[in-house]
Amino acid sequence: MRKILFSLALISVASQASASVKIEEELFIFGQKPEIVRELIEAGSVEVDHVSSEGFELYGSKGLSKYLDSKKIPYFDMKSVSKSAFSDYPSHTEITNKLKAAEAKNPGIMKLFSIGKSVKGKELWVMKISDNVNVDEIEPEFKYISSMHGDEITGREMTVSLIQEIAAKYGSDSELTELVNNSEIYIMPSMNPDGSERKQRANANGTDLNRDFPDLKDPNIAGNMQIENQHVMKFQASRKFSLSANFHGGTIVANYPWDSTYDRHPLDGLVKELSLAYAELNPEMRSSREFAGGITNGADWYVVKGGMQDWSCFFYNDLQITLEVSHDKWPNYSEIPGFYKSNRESMVNYMKQVHRGAGIKIKRPNISGTVAIKQISPVAKNLGSYAFSSSEFYKVLPEGQYSYTVSEKNKAAKEITVFIERDKVFSNGNFTVID
């Protein structure tokens, strides 16, 4: 019966490729993709993740395992794994308390706020970290988001650890202090708290949040995204992020755009450098046997449509990479300090990369317009035009000399020249103030 249902689902979904997959079964298939699985993928009936030389993860609705049984395709049910490690992890309430405690410890640089609620009503917490935290200063804006896949928990714990460390060491650790003083950092440890509570990939509606963002080729901005994604989309629109990353688990690699197309990103060299800024300081990532240098182009690995990374890079001036930080999605809780130790330098170094850029600040308030960017050296190149608002624009760029042509309605365009030096990360000259 299930088999028939699954076959019917396959046929009905084939005609509407954008329909999202309801995730009720989480399977692992060893080896290469069998033909029948390829058919399911092409029809949009299943989702695939973490393709490696060992095999791949396969997600789908109820009946998928029985369907594979009928086709004699062996699989491993990932939900059958012992949940003994489950109870050691903090609950959503405990995570909330840890974040509130960090804010209370150093309220001058930490401000905790919620961008909305999950399907089951849990607050989606974001910590803003900056000096003069209650003021919107002219500083580059950075963000980390973790665990949009609820069962990929390592990043949640590591981002909470990072927040705690910054709260404790601000003022004594010069690197962290400079970073906080010169940037506006936003960290969201748990984008899918309902999924994490159930130790599952999808949100409470059974939807994979990392397949539910507007796609580059088919922007359905006003579509019916899951509530968690709608909150993140509004949050993104309210800020001026120019660099970000999102944490996952299942393997160890830094994945750069694009995920949804084999085209190269216009700043392909830069997104590779940014990925290396993370990977090279993580011993296991750097020495990966699966991925050279611990980095990979997203689509070259496997194509993902509707992911957060491409959405952020395409619709906003926010370069984003995807960080896979543990082979085991849900390791024993006792291993978390070890994961934080091996990722801590990478996490800090990646945040610092937001200073590899240049911005403008217009003295008059609430000005919007566009900035056309041309690279002058090392090679002359047109890098396109970007919208800005609230009198502020900033972009992370490769080392070089650039011209920014700032245009606003009913005013003559203004051209400025900016220089970006890779190693000059904390210079406060990132912003040129113009009339």
Residues that bind Zn ion (CB under 5 A): 149, 152, 248
According to DSSP H, which parts of 281-366 are helical? Answer: 283-286, 298-301, 308-315, 336-352
C-beta of 145 vs 406, nearer to Zn ion: 145
Cα–Cα distance for residue pair 433/361, rounded to 1 Å: 5
Residue nearest to Zn ion (CB): 248
Burial letters 277-289, b for 16+ CB under 10 A, else e:
bbbbbbeebbebe
Written as six digits, the tokens of 198 are 């159930």
Least distance (Å) between residue 157 CB and Zn ion: 15
Q: Which residue bears the tokens 């934080």?
A: 340
Taken as a whole, the chain contains a residue count of: 435
C-beta of 211 vs 248, nearer to Zn ion: 248
Is 417 strand, coil or helix? strand
Least distance (Å) between residue 311 CB and Zn ion: 15
Q: Per DSSP, which regions of 35-191 are E strands?
A: 47-49, 55-60, 76-77, 110-117, 123-129, 141-146, 184-188
Least distance (Å) between residue 335 CB and Zn ion: 18
Least distance (Å) between residue 259 CB and Zn ion: 12
Contacts of 268 (CB under 8 A, 6+ apart): none
C-beta of 52 vs 407, nearer to Zn ion: 52
C-beta of 278 vs 393, nearer to Zn ion: 278
Written as six digits, the tokens of 235 are 């949050």
Least distance (Å) between residue 149 CB and Zn ion: 4
The letter for the amino acid at 58 is L
Active site residues: 324
C-beta of 146 vs 353, nearer to Zn ion: 146
